[in-house]
Structure 1
Amino acid sequence: MKRLATLAAAIGLALPLAGTGVAHATTPPPTGAKAQWIDHTTIAWPKGLGDPTHPHRLLHDGGSFTLTPTPGGLTPAQRTQFPHLAGYDAYRVNATPDQERTALRGAVTATAGDVTTGVQTPGVLDDLYATAAAKATLGPSFRNGRPTLALWAPTARNVALELDGRTVPMRRDDASGVWSATGTRGWSGKPYRYAVTVYAPAAGGVVTNLVTDPYSTALTADSARSLVTDLADPALAPPGWRGLRKPKAVPLRDAQIQELHIRDFSSGGGSQGGYLAFTDRTSPGMRHLTALAAAGTSYVHLLPAFDFATVPERRADQATPPCDLAALPADSERQQECVRGTAARDAYNWGYDPLHYTVPEGSYASDPDGPGRTREFRRMVQGLAGAGLRTVMDVVYNHTAAAGQDDRSVLDRIVPGYYQRLMDDGSVATSTCCAGTAPEHAMMGKLVVDSVVTWAKEYKVDGFRFDLMGHHPKANILAVRKALDALTPDKDGVDGKSVILYGEGWDFGEAANDSRFVQATQKNMAGTGIATFSDRARDAVRGGGPFDADPRMQGFASGLLTDPNAAPQGTPAEQRARLLHDQDLLKVGLTGNLAGYRFTDSAGRSVRGDGVDYNGRPAGYAAAPGDALAYADAHDNETLYDALAFKLPQTTPPADRARMQVLAMATAALSQGPALSQAGTDRLRSKSLDRNSYDSGDWFNAIHWDCADGNGFGRGLPPARDNEAKWPYARPLLADPALKAGCGPVEAASGAYRDLLRIRTTEKAFGLATAEAVQAALSFPLSGPEETPGAVTMRLGDLVVVFNATPQPQDQRIAALAGTPYALHPVQASGADPAVKAAAYAPATGTFTVPARTVAVFKAG
């Protein structure tokens, strides 16, 4: 309180009321913000809002501007830029740009007769400032050791720098709206915040917000202050960092990716849940990652490791559940209840709640107070590289932890109403779960690009996975690609062209169907070399969908028709038809989800991939291998083991569960294009049936590297928050000791999966570069109405792959191959799985015989 009062006096402001904002005179805000000021000439006005015969005016603190109706509404160019406003009326703003800049530094409302509404201003801010601001270097930058701090705050009345307990004035550049201050070498390492005096609609008046730097490069603990930090400082580089040699870059179409949460990875020791866990080459987790890398895994995808909002960063402040969780019954409600009691204060969260996009998360550092987290993040990247793995970061630019005047709101307290995407009434969009951002606005788009480039240059990150990428404009993601491609080893220390990009191309929410811009969705990203997750084969393999009320719905790898459970799933004929359609979806997936790939479907028709139905949409959408990323499980929804626990008959023996798990993983690993697997899945990882473990703590999330401890199954009923409706299905499963996989099934599954990785990454036919090459080399010779339900046979160059998901051995006869010599692939013939070694081939008839619940690869020659 005393420090706030001192700062207020120093810059001539009223005393603060509380928190990190200084309140000034307020006026009652209008209801909503329905008018939109889209450029310096135009207000877009909703039809039917107010009486059109009354004069329209734009009110600001210094007076008002008249608004003149524009016949015909928005221009074609404006409708293209703002498609969701195409039906609005247009009014011309009668003011000069300089007058508008002044007006935008206070409250702006619009009136028409007795109607008053707030005004959304991102469009006009971009029009007036973005061209100049886009060239600015924001955040801390250094020249000859002297730092400059720069902040984009065009609507601020004043910005001052609170540096190490004193106040420093900042200079405003009127063309760009950037405020800056240059200091001495003595500023380096000092904590700072900005005091931004700005009109905030959420507060109904002018406030002075004390905020950290959105372009921070380092932070004090719990993100209380930014630190003046030069990431090029040699003191932040661990030994060997400058000359770090990465494993050879793998093209995206060949990438085999392990998705991993940093805290899940480590179990015990001073580095528990932290960056340094990846520096111990002797730990069980690192030994396993090293073995996966030797088999062909090329990337580790880290769940969010930037600064996020929901975990106390000092270990002394982190709570632990006050219960003897291990002593409770496997189907008890008490574990989840106890974990829930400390969830808001424990050390665990997935981290999809960004606070500062370009600083490593402090809770993973041994000391979160300062730039040491930078050094430890770099040591993690080194550790992965030493194990033969490149590093991917999961980035979450589509939303922030909070908006408005919330203490966890950084961007919106600097330029209120700009960085967040607003709905037509002026409220913040929340379809992503949280306060949505607007990368379609120039400076939010710039923040995305600048942040990614920093991670690539300064942390040698080799790839980025964009959370909810469909909420980004396609143009924004392509701008990221362009900026990365400009990075060179000589100039920047990294080859940006080798950095891979992929993301969630889901199409939903306020941006759906390209309603606001051309989105970075599955169909729109085809042909860009940026991959999107494919849910088509995923659902066909697992069965049902991720949001089914009954989790027992079966699919190709979970026993549909061939090994039915007790769920009502239709007649045998209906199940057969659904299973064969699932096999069509799987075939499209095996091609890399190519839209133009032509094959014979289960009805005997010649179809293209985009002619196969997936819930009313085309199954195939990719233009080339690498456009679609295959996976059978990820951090979202139940782990593969847990999904199969729900779906396979409860009496299925553990060894057979392991075989079905490997077969499901094989459908992704042996497809064209990249594939991803959740860390631990090859070891039958369970989260005790939790479908959304983002805040379920270590108890439900930890990877159990020692199979003697089990695989995580039976650690209690999963948290009621997202799972209670499934508890009636979960209880009998969790209480069944036979579903706790022991060392035998765990090691068998892991070894068999590594064999498949070796085949995938050594046989060039799995990494074809073009759609034409896939069409020429890959076929499904037994497709059609008589195809074996539960078995898919794929011919790929000199290979034949048979996926037998049934509980019986299957003969697959390809008459055209009679007389051609085939044998089980050498990797499997000498590999970890004894069952697959019984696979056989009869050259006289061209018949491939494959054991139950087995994927077998045969090679000619």
Structure 2
Amino acid sequence: METIKPCAEMIKLNEIKASVPIDSYQQEISIELKRADGETVPIQHVHFSLENPVVQLSIQTMNNIEMGYNYILHYNHEQLPVIIGEVVRTRDFDNLYYYDGDDLGVCYTKTSTSFTVWAPTATEVQVTLFEKATDNKGLRFPFTRKAKGVWTTTIPGDWENWCFTYQLYTQHVWNEAVDPYVQAVTVNGEKGVIVDMEKYQVTDYLLPVVEKQDAIIYEVHIRDFSIHPHSGIKHKGKFLGFTETKTKGKKGTKTGLDYLVELGVTHVELLPLHDFGSVDEMNPNQHYNWGYDPIHYFAVEGSYSTNPLDGRVRIKELKQMIVTLHEHGIKVILDVVFNHVYIWESSDFEKIVPGYYFRYEENGEMANGTGVGNDIASERKMVRKFILDCLKYWVREYKIDGFRFDLMGIFDLETARIIENELKDIRPDLFLLGEGWDLPTPLPFWEKATIKNAREIPTISFFNDRFRDVIRGSSFHKTDRGFINGNKETVGEVLEGLCGSIGFQNEGLFTNPAQSINYMECHDNYTVWDKLSFTNEKEEENLRRKMHRLGTALVLLAQGVPFLHAGQEFFRTKQGVENSYNSPDFINQLDWDRKEQFKKDVMYVKNLIALRKAHPAFRLKTKAEIKKHIQPLQAPDHVVAYHMNDLYEIDSWNNIVVIHNGSWSTVEISLPYPGQWHIVIDEETVSLIPLYIVEDEKIHVKPLTTMMMFQ
């Protein structure tokens, strides 16, 4: 028979729950709650519940139990150490121990270094300083407990570049942790590093304000960008790869930074570059990962630096990369992962305040809406503060221009609103966007920052998966088809997406078009080129190229914010791998040879970008403007055609007709007005200067073609 081990757990600030074997139950019992120093805590009431084979005890105290002490429950002859349980997830705990100070983390000066950590359930905290990262023994200093569960110490002397860890006595055991607010770490994040951030201040080029609808986002992974053998880039897979100019591919065409400038994108969106856990920084080329396994949110990933052994180098090189991009007119959006951590059991969050930072189901099980084993509890006050402090740090310290929130639907709406408001106070043009998927985390639907609640946070943009799927087919069914690859039933939804999904004809998703991130592929799921190999495997490559190019034209001409996956413009392939998060470089790398192979298609996309940037008609700001200036045209099956008129106050082109022919036949469309129409997009070419003029009442549009003309 299994032996029942007695246990006691604090579930409220004034309540302890205990389980003891039923054979220890007696009519006359003795119960006392004492601190480890011997002081007795007055008990108000004890409730017994016989639940064979245990007795459940509910012990309510006269007053709130003060954190920062070890407690022992004396039950007859048993002594039960009291574990801090679900009390840390109560609103009372959150309110009582919320700390609004701005001094968490490490504060270095040449004469002293201060350490401050929020650890209300700890009963003792120390810091150990190591002269070298490889040292096993160091100098240990005690912390003093302050109000709100904050622990702090100031150590005289100059400790620059020393390493450190915290030791915390909590839950009756010692844990070693790294400060969650740490700004620099040793290899693989094993220790924190004390750095003088003033030494790494740079003069950054302040770019002009770019309104959301004027942005063209280009999503790229640091390593993918330069790792290809023919990238022409010296610092392959590194931050510095983005700083090199005059790089060439095998046949002499532009690569790297010069190519980004030539293409005309306004923002690069970088996959996570905070310190993550799945790549060994000592052997960075032996493993690959996208970086959605965060460990330290304030610190920089070392595998992208030229010297991961020195925690300062990654800071310096990342700043150099950002400054260089800014100098070339390109803003930087960071992909941030505040929805989960790499391994929650070994995370610094769990070691410092066990049970607090993560979301739990009603049955006490760890929530797993993210699908990776844990959901960060953004609704808790100190979690929310951590997220805000971290975002503000990246904006102020690294001059970041925006954030893309991975699995943003895990966030609670209140946190999203506060992020929206407080970050705008720092940078009014800061670009905020995220994945608004509705995931099964234990929050009510109306409290989630999902795409269906987009109207509640109108200055945050959302990835428009509805538009994506009607363009290419569902991402969850590899043979499902969309507008570009054979599904004529999607015409109405395509038009809705082209109008910013604001409720042009159907029910709208967004309050304004800038909330719609229009895309047909990203780092996740199949690339469109690979998707077409499944949905249209019997078609010739040239036909699939036309489908693909039609999809990119839909994205770049739609109202809202266009988003391109790096290499999309030259038909990026991942060799049929759907989820390449840890696939090798030959799957994930940006293949610069394809850029040279499909240079005409790259020019087509480049000119689409230039056309969009030159004509505000494709960057309307409001739902009212879209409804005023866009009218659908009568068109055959599998064709989307619309007329943009009365644009004289907005655009140099007064009347514009756009036709997207998704069918495999040449179609005839009646034009809305007689007279000369200047063709700027036809089957093969995009041009800001008219290609030719037609005066017919009707226009013929070839299969799988976007056509545009103006008066």
Q: Normalising TM by the smaller chain, what interval?
A: 0.7 to 0.9
What's 1:254 paired with?
A: 214
CA contact (8 A) 2:683 2:707 kept: no
Change over 3 Å in CA distance of 1:837–1:36 after alignment to 2: farther
What secondary structure does 2:115 align onto?
strand
2:343 corresponds to which of 402, 412, 429: 402
1:553 corresponds to which of 468, 473, 480: 480
TM-score, structure 1 length as denominator? 0.70
2:145 corresponds to which of 168, 172, 177: 172
The within-5 A match list for 1:634-649 is 634-649=522-537
The within-5 A match list for 1:203-602 is 206-231=172-197, 233-234=198-199, 236-237=200-201, 241-242=202-203, 244-266=204-226, 267-268=228-229, 271-284=235-248, 287=255, 289-314=257-282, 317-318=283-284, 346-369=286-309, 370-404=311-345, 406=346, 409-434=347-372, 435-487=374-426, 496-511=427-442, 513-514=444-445, 518-526=447-455, 528-543=458-473, 545-548=474-477, 551-560=478-487, 579-580=488-489, 582-595=490-503, 597=504, 599=505
Amino acid aligned to 1:122: R
Shift of 1:160: 0.2
CA contact (8 A) 2:682 2:705 kept: no
CA contact (8 A) 1:800 1:858 kept: yes
Deviations 1:690-725 (A, max 9, x none): 110001121211111123xxx8xxxxxxxxxxxxxx
Deviations 1:747-776 (A, max 9, x none): 222111111111111111111111111111
CA distance in 2: counterparts of 1:66 and 1:646, whole angstroms: 69
Change over 3 Å in CA distance of 1:93–1:529 after alignment to 2: farther
Change over 3 Å in CA distance of 1:28–1:310 after alignment to 2: farther
Q: Does 1:96 align with 2:63?
A: yes
CA contact (8 A) 1:58 1:67 kept: no
Deviations 1:781-836 (A, max 9, x none): 22xxxx4222111222321111112222221114xx231432112xx4898569x9
Q: Does 1:850 align with 2:701?
A: yes
Shift of 1:358: 1.0
1:750 corresponds to which of 578, 602, 605: 602
Amino acid aligned to 2:338: Y
CA RMSD of aligned residues (A): 3.2
What's 2:52 paired with?
A: none
Shift of 1:558: 1.0
1:789 corresponds to which of 637, 640, 650: 637
Deviations 1:650-700 (A, max 9, x none): 232x23222211111122211111121110010111000111000112121
CA distance in 2: counterparts of 1:217 and 1:383, whole angstroms: 22
**Structure 1: unaligned runs, 5 residues or longer:** 1-26, 46-53, 70-90, 111-115, 200-205, 320-345, 488-495, 561-578, 600-608, 611-619, 712-742
Shift of 1:589: 0.9
What's 1:138 paired with?
A: 104
Amino acid aligned to 1:800: V
Deviations 1:326-370 (A, max 9, x none): xxxxxxxxxxxxxxxxxxxx2310010000001110010011121
Deviations 1:606-641 (A, max 9, x none): xxx31xxxxxxxxx2101111121110001100111
Which protein has the bigger helix share?
Answer: 1
Amino acid aligned to 2:164: Y
What secondary structure does 1:509 align onto?
coil
Change over 3 Å in CA distance of 1:255–1:293 after alignment to 2: same
What secondary structure does 1:626 align onto?
helix
Change over 3 Å in CA distance of 1:513–1:672 after alignment to 2: farther
CA distance in 2: counterparts of 1:259 and 1:541, whole angstroms: 19
What secondary structure does 1:706 align onto?
helix
What secondary structure does 2:513 align onto?
coil
Shift of 1:477: 1.9
Runs of 4+ in 1 over 6 A off after TM superposition: 41-45, 57-61, 107-110, 836-840
CA contact (8 A) 1:839 1:849 kept: no
Q: Does 1:811 align with 2:699?
A: no
What secondary structure does 2:148 align onto?
coil
CA contact (8 A) 1:661 1:749 kept: no
What secondary structure does 1:801 align onto?
strand
The within-5 A match list for 1:759-774 is 759-774=611-626
CA distance in 2: counterparts of 1:768 and 1:58, whole angstroms: 71
Change over 3 Å in CA distance of 1:448–1:840 after alignment to 2: same
CA contact (8 A) 2:395 2:401 kept: yes
**Structure 2: unaligned runs, 5 residues or longer:** 19-26, 36-40, 48-57, 76-81, 131-137, 646-654
Amino acid aligned to 1:455: W
Shift of 1:474: 1.6
What's 2:120 paired with?
A: 154
